[in-house]
Chains A and B, each alone.
Chain A
Protein backbone atom coordinates (compact mmCIF):
# COMPACT_ATOMS: atom_id res chain seq x y z
CA UNK A 1 0.00 0.00 0.00
CA UNK A 2 1.03 3.58 -0.57
CA UNK A 3 1.11 6.10 2.25
CA UNK A 4 1.62 9.84 2.02
CA UNK A 5 2.73 12.46 4.48
CA UNK A 6 4.31 15.92 4.52
CA UNK A 7 7.97 16.18 3.57
CA UNK A 8 10.74 16.97 6.06
CA UNK A 9 9.57 14.38 8.56
CA UNK A 10 10.03 14.85 12.26
CA UNK A 11 9.21 12.66 15.28
CA UNK A 12 5.51 11.99 14.76
CA UNK A 13 5.87 11.15 11.04
CA UNK A 14 9.00 9.00 11.44
CA UNK A 15 7.41 7.11 14.34
CA UNK A 16 4.19 6.58 12.34
CA UNK A 17 6.13 5.30 9.32
CA UNK A 18 8.02 2.88 11.56
CA UNK A 19 4.74 1.72 13.10
CA UNK A 20 3.08 1.31 9.70
CA UNK A 21 5.91 -0.84 8.31
CA UNK A 22 6.26 -2.83 11.49
CA UNK A 23 2.66 -3.49 12.54
CA UNK A 24 0.19 -2.35 9.89
CA UNK A 25 1.58 -2.75 6.37
CA UNK A 26 5.01 -4.40 5.96
CA UNK A 27 4.97 -3.59 2.24
CA UNK A 28 4.29 0.08 2.87
CA UNK A 29 5.66 2.56 0.39
CA UNK A 30 5.99 6.18 1.48
CA UNK A 31 5.66 9.35 -0.55
CA UNK A 32 6.21 12.88 0.69
CA UNK A 33 4.47 16.04 -0.41
CA UNK A 34 5.42 19.68 -0.01
CA UNK A 35 1.83 20.83 -0.30
CA UNK A 36 -0.61 18.83 1.86
CA UNK A 37 -3.53 20.01 -0.28
CA UNK A 38 -2.05 18.13 -3.28
CA UNK A 39 -2.38 14.54 -2.13
CA UNK A 40 -2.10 11.59 -4.53
CA UNK A 41 -5.43 9.77 -4.66
CA UNK A 42 -3.89 6.29 -4.41
CA UNK A 43 -2.15 6.83 -1.06
CA UNK A 44 -3.35 6.88 2.56
CA UNK A 45 -2.44 10.19 4.20
CA UNK A 46 -1.06 10.44 7.71
CA UNK A 47 -0.03 13.33 9.96
CA UNK A 48 -1.78 15.79 7.66
CA UNK A 49 -4.37 18.16 9.13
CA UNK A 50 -7.97 17.32 8.37
CA UNK A 51 -7.21 13.64 7.66
CA UNK A 52 -8.36 10.68 9.80
CA UNK A 53 -4.77 9.77 10.70
CA UNK A 54 -3.70 13.05 12.27
CA UNK A 55 -3.82 14.77 15.65
CA UNK A 56 -7.18 14.27 17.39
CA UNK A 57 -8.38 15.45 20.78
CA UNK A 58 -4.87 16.51 21.66
CA UNK A 59 -3.32 13.13 20.72
CA UNK A 60 -0.46 12.77 18.26
CA UNK A 61 -0.94 10.93 14.96
CA UNK A 62 1.13 8.05 16.32
CA UNK A 63 -1.23 7.60 19.28
CA UNK A 64 -4.25 7.88 16.99
CA UNK A 65 -2.82 5.11 14.74
CA UNK A 66 -2.02 2.82 17.67
CA UNK A 67 -5.56 3.23 18.95
CA UNK A 68 -7.22 2.89 15.57
CA UNK A 69 -5.45 -0.41 14.86
CA UNK A 70 -5.87 -1.71 18.42
CA UNK A 71 -2.16 -2.29 18.65
CA UNK A 72 -1.00 -3.45 22.04
CA UNK A 73 2.37 -4.73 23.07
CA UNK A 74 4.74 -4.10 25.95
CA UNK A 75 6.31 -0.65 25.73
CA UNK A 76 4.12 0.68 22.92
CA UNK A 77 2.01 2.92 25.14
CA UNK A 78 5.13 4.40 26.76
CA UNK A 79 6.60 4.95 23.29
CA UNK A 80 3.39 6.78 22.34
CA UNK A 81 3.85 9.07 25.33
CA UNK A 82 7.43 9.85 24.32
CA UNK A 83 6.39 10.59 20.73
CA UNK A 84 3.54 12.75 22.05
CA UNK A 85 5.86 14.84 24.22
CA UNK A 86 8.58 15.12 21.56
CA UNK A 87 5.96 16.29 19.05
CA UNK A 88 3.39 18.28 21.01
CA UNK A 89 5.42 19.30 24.10
CA UNK A 90 2.33 19.87 26.24
CA UNK A 91 3.45 17.93 29.32
CA UNK A 92 0.42 15.68 29.19
CA UNK A 93 2.84 12.85 30.02
CA UNK A 94 6.04 12.55 31.99
CA UNK A 95 8.41 11.46 29.23
CA UNK A 96 11.99 12.49 30.01
CA UNK A 97 13.22 10.73 26.85
CA UNK A 98 11.21 13.10 24.64
CA UNK A 99 13.65 16.05 24.37
CA UNK A 100 16.43 13.59 23.49
CA UNK A 101 14.35 11.92 20.78
CA UNK A 102 13.36 15.34 19.44
CA UNK A 103 17.02 16.42 19.26
CA UNK A 104 18.21 13.20 17.57
CA UNK A 105 15.48 13.14 14.91
CA UNK A 106 15.83 16.88 14.28
CA UNK A 107 19.58 16.40 13.80
CA UNK A 108 19.13 13.36 11.54
CA UNK A 109 16.67 15.42 9.50
CA UNK A 110 19.48 17.90 8.80
CA UNK A 111 21.67 15.14 7.35
CA UNK A 112 19.26 12.83 5.56
CA UNK A 113 16.46 12.96 3.02
CA UNK A 114 13.08 11.62 4.11
CA UNK A 115 13.63 8.08 2.70
CA UNK A 116 16.92 7.65 4.55
CA UNK A 117 15.53 9.31 7.66
CA UNK A 118 12.65 6.82 7.79
CA UNK A 119 14.94 3.87 7.11
CA UNK A 120 17.53 4.78 9.76
CA UNK A 121 15.17 6.08 12.43
CA UNK A 122 13.34 2.73 12.31
CA UNK A 123 16.29 1.13 14.12
CA UNK A 124 16.09 3.86 16.72
CA UNK A 125 12.40 3.19 17.36
CA UNK A 126 13.04 -0.59 17.44
CA UNK A 127 15.64 0.05 20.12
CA UNK A 128 13.49 2.44 22.08
CA UNK A 129 10.58 -0.03 22.09
CA UNK A 130 12.88 -2.90 23.16
CA UNK A 131 14.14 -0.74 26.01
CA UNK A 132 10.64 0.29 27.10
CA UNK A 133 9.34 -3.28 26.89
CA UNK A 134 12.21 -4.52 29.08
CA UNK A 135 11.56 -1.74 31.59
CA UNK A 136 7.91 -2.78 32.04
Chain B
Protein backbone atom coordinates (compact mmCIF):
# COMPACT_ATOMS: atom_id res chain seq x y z
CA UNK B 1 0.00 0.00 0.00
CA UNK B 2 1.82 3.12 -1.22
CA UNK B 3 0.73 6.31 0.44
CA UNK B 4 1.84 9.90 0.29
CA UNK B 5 2.04 10.40 4.02
CA UNK B 6 2.11 14.20 4.04
CA UNK B 7 -1.66 14.31 4.54
CA UNK B 8 -3.62 12.49 7.19
CA UNK B 9 -7.24 11.70 7.68
CA UNK B 10 -8.41 12.20 11.27
CA UNK B 11 -11.48 10.64 12.82
CA UNK B 12 -12.62 12.59 15.83
CA UNK B 13 -15.29 10.63 17.65
CA UNK B 14 -17.31 10.09 20.78
CA UNK B 15 -19.58 7.11 21.34
CA UNK B 16 -21.90 6.53 24.30
CA UNK B 17 -20.27 4.21 26.90
CA UNK B 18 -23.24 1.83 26.68
CA UNK B 19 -24.07 -0.35 24.82
CA UNK B 20 -20.55 -1.65 24.48
CA UNK B 21 -21.02 -3.61 21.22
CA UNK B 22 -20.69 -0.57 18.89
CA UNK B 23 -17.60 0.60 20.82
CA UNK B 24 -15.99 -2.81 20.38
CA UNK B 25 -16.93 -2.94 16.70
CA UNK B 26 -15.43 0.51 16.18
CA UNK B 27 -12.25 -0.42 18.04
CA UNK B 28 -11.90 -3.53 15.84
CA UNK B 29 -12.44 -1.53 12.65
CA UNK B 30 -9.82 1.01 13.74
CA UNK B 31 -7.32 -1.75 14.49
CA UNK B 32 -8.04 -3.53 11.21
CA UNK B 33 -7.37 -0.32 9.28
CA UNK B 34 -4.14 0.18 11.20
CA UNK B 35 -5.15 3.64 12.38
CA UNK B 36 -2.89 5.38 14.89
CA UNK B 37 -4.41 6.39 18.21
CA UNK B 38 -3.42 10.01 18.74
CA UNK B 39 -5.58 10.73 21.77
CA UNK B 40 -8.78 9.56 23.38
CA UNK B 41 -11.35 9.75 20.58
CA UNK B 42 -8.86 10.77 17.90
CA UNK B 43 -7.36 8.35 15.38
CA UNK B 44 -5.33 9.04 12.25
CA UNK B 45 -4.52 7.30 8.98
CA UNK B 46 -2.40 8.46 6.08
CA UNK B 47 -4.90 10.03 3.69
CA UNK B 48 -5.82 8.18 0.50
CA UNK B 49 -9.09 7.68 -1.37
CA UNK B 50 -9.41 4.29 0.36
CA UNK B 51 -8.67 5.42 3.92
CA UNK B 52 -10.84 8.54 3.65
CA UNK B 53 -13.76 6.45 2.40
CA UNK B 54 -13.35 3.91 5.22
CA UNK B 55 -13.17 6.65 7.84
CA UNK B 56 -16.21 8.47 6.44
CA UNK B 57 -18.29 5.31 6.71
CA UNK B 58 -17.01 4.70 10.25
CA UNK B 59 -18.10 8.25 11.14
CA UNK B 60 -21.55 7.63 9.64
CA UNK B 61 -21.80 4.40 11.65
CA UNK B 62 -20.83 6.22 14.87
CA UNK B 63 -23.59 8.79 14.31
CA UNK B 64 -26.05 6.01 13.53
CA UNK B 65 -25.20 4.61 17.00
CA UNK B 66 -25.93 7.92 18.70
CA UNK B 67 -22.33 9.13 18.80
CA UNK B 68 -20.65 12.21 17.43
CA UNK B 69 -18.00 12.02 14.74
CA UNK B 70 -16.22 14.24 12.27
CA UNK B 71 -13.64 13.53 9.60
CA UNK B 72 -10.72 15.83 8.86
CA UNK B 73 -7.90 15.87 6.39
CA UNK B 74 -4.87 17.38 8.10
CA UNK B 75 -1.27 18.22 7.37
CA UNK B 76 1.19 18.70 10.22
CA UNK B 77 3.14 21.96 10.17
CA UNK B 78 6.40 20.15 10.93
CA UNK B 79 7.76 17.27 8.85
CA UNK B 80 9.02 15.69 12.07
CA UNK B 81 5.43 15.03 13.12
CA UNK B 82 4.83 12.96 10.01
CA UNK B 83 8.05 11.04 10.55
CA UNK B 84 7.11 10.35 14.16
CA UNK B 85 3.65 9.07 13.23
CA UNK B 86 5.07 7.02 10.36
CA UNK B 87 7.60 5.43 12.72
CA UNK B 88 4.84 4.59 15.16
CA UNK B 89 2.77 2.97 12.40
CA UNK B 90 5.75 1.16 10.92
CA UNK B 91 6.79 -0.25 14.31
CA UNK B 92 3.35 -1.63 15.01
CA UNK B 93 3.12 -3.34 11.60
CA UNK B 94 6.71 -4.58 11.93
CA UNK B 95 5.62 -6.32 15.13
CA UNK B 96 2.93 -8.09 13.20
CA UNK B 97 5.40 -9.30 10.54
CA UNK B 98 7.66 -10.56 13.33
CA UNK B 99 4.69 -12.45 14.73
CA UNK B 100 4.30 -14.24 11.38
CA UNK B 101 8.02 -15.12 11.35
CA UNK B 102 7.73 -16.48 14.89
CA UNK B 103 4.79 -18.62 13.88
CA UNK B 104 6.76 -20.15 11.03
CA UNK B 105 9.76 -20.82 13.31
CA UNK B 106 7.56 -22.31 16.02
CA UNK B 107 6.01 -24.75 13.57
CA UNK B 108 9.07 -26.48 12.19
CA UNK B 109 7.77 -30.00 12.74
CA UNK B 110 4.45 -30.22 11.00
CA UNK B 111 2.64 -32.85 9.03
CA UNK B 112 1.88 -32.07 5.39
CA UNK B 113 -1.75 -31.26 6.17
CA UNK B 114 -0.85 -28.97 9.06
CA UNK B 115 1.76 -27.18 7.01
CA UNK B 116 -0.69 -26.59 4.20
CA UNK B 117 -3.18 -25.15 6.68
CA UNK B 118 -0.51 -22.95 8.25
CA UNK B 119 0.55 -21.58 4.85
CA UNK B 120 -3.04 -20.74 3.98
CA UNK B 121 -3.60 -18.98 7.30
CA UNK B 122 -0.34 -17.04 7.20
CA UNK B 123 -0.85 -15.91 3.60
CA UNK B 124 -4.24 -14.50 4.63
CA UNK B 125 -2.63 -12.91 7.67
CA UNK B 126 0.06 -11.31 5.49
CA UNK B 127 -2.60 -9.91 3.18
CA UNK B 128 -4.34 -8.37 6.19
CA UNK B 129 -1.11 -6.90 7.53
CA UNK B 130 -0.15 -5.67 4.05
CA UNK B 131 -3.41 -3.74 3.76
CA UNK B 132 -2.38 -1.58 6.76
CA UNK B 133 1.35 -1.42 6.02
CA UNK B 134 1.21 2.22 4.95
CA UNK B 135 4.85 2.96 5.78
CA UNK B 136 6.58 -0.09 4.34
CA UNK B 137 7.70 -1.95 7.42
CA UNK B 138 11.08 -3.49 6.61
CA UNK B 139 10.05 -6.99 7.72
CA UNK B 140 7.43 -7.41 4.97
CA UNK B 141 9.53 -9.15 2.34
CA UNK B 142 11.30 -11.44 4.83
CA UNK B 143 7.98 -12.57 6.29
CA UNK B 144 6.51 -13.15 2.83
CA UNK B 145 9.61 -15.05 1.69
CA UNK B 146 9.52 -17.21 4.82
CA UNK B 147 5.88 -18.21 4.24
CA UNK B 148 6.49 -18.84 0.53
CA UNK B 149 9.54 -20.99 1.41
CA UNK B 150 7.25 -23.05 3.59
CA UNK B 151 4.82 -23.39 0.68
CA UNK B 152 7.66 -24.33 -1.66
CA UNK B 153 8.96 -26.99 0.71
CA UNK B 154 5.43 -28.34 0.66
CA UNK B 155 5.33 -28.48 -3.12
CA UNK B 156 8.65 -30.36 -3.17
CA UNK B 157 7.49 -33.02 -0.73
CA UNK B 158 4.27 -33.52 -2.69
CA UNK B 159 6.13 -33.76 -6.01
Q: Which residue of B lies closest to A56 (CB)?
A: B64
Q: Are A58 and B53 interface neighbours, CB within 8 A?
A: no
A contact residues, total (Cβ < 8 Å): 14
Q: Given contacts A56-B64, A58-B25, A89-B32, are A49 and B56 in contact (CB under 8 A)? A: yes
A76 sits at the interface (CB 8 A): no
Q: Are B64 and A90 interface neighbours, CB within 8 A?
A: no
B92 sits at the interface (CB 8 A): no
Please give the residue numbers on chain A whose beta carbons come within 8 Å of chain B beta carbons, in ascending order: 8, 10, 49-50, 54-58, 88-91, 99
Identify A8's interface contact among B49, B54, B127, B131, CB under 8 A. Answer: B49
Q: Which residues on A sit within 8 Å (CB–CB) of B53?
A: 10
Tell me the complex Cα distance, A58–B58, Å.
9
B 34-75 contacts with A by CB, 8 A: 49, 53-54, 56-57, 59-61, 63-64
Q: Given contacts A56-B64, A90-B29, are A49 and B127 in contact (CB under 8 A)? A: no
B contact residues, total (Cβ < 8 Å): 16
Identify A49's interface contact among B28, B29, B59, CB under 8 A. Answer: B59
**Shortest Cβ distance from B116 into chain A, in angstroms?**
16
Identify B60's interface contact among A54, A89, A90, A91, CB under 8 A. Answer: A54
**Shortest Cβ distance from A77 into chain B, in angstroms?**
21
Q: Are A50 and B49 interface neighbours, CB within 8 A?
A: no
Tell me the complex Cα distance, A2–B113, Å.
54
Q: Which residues on B sit within 8 Å (CB–CB) of A50?
A: 60, 63
Tell me the complex Cα distance, A56–B53, Å.
15
The interface centre, meaning the residue of B25, B29, B63, B64 with most chain A CB atoms within 10 A of its CB, is B64
Q: Which residue of B lies closest to A51 (CB)?
A: B60
Q: Are A90 and B56 interface neighbours, CB within 8 A?
A: no
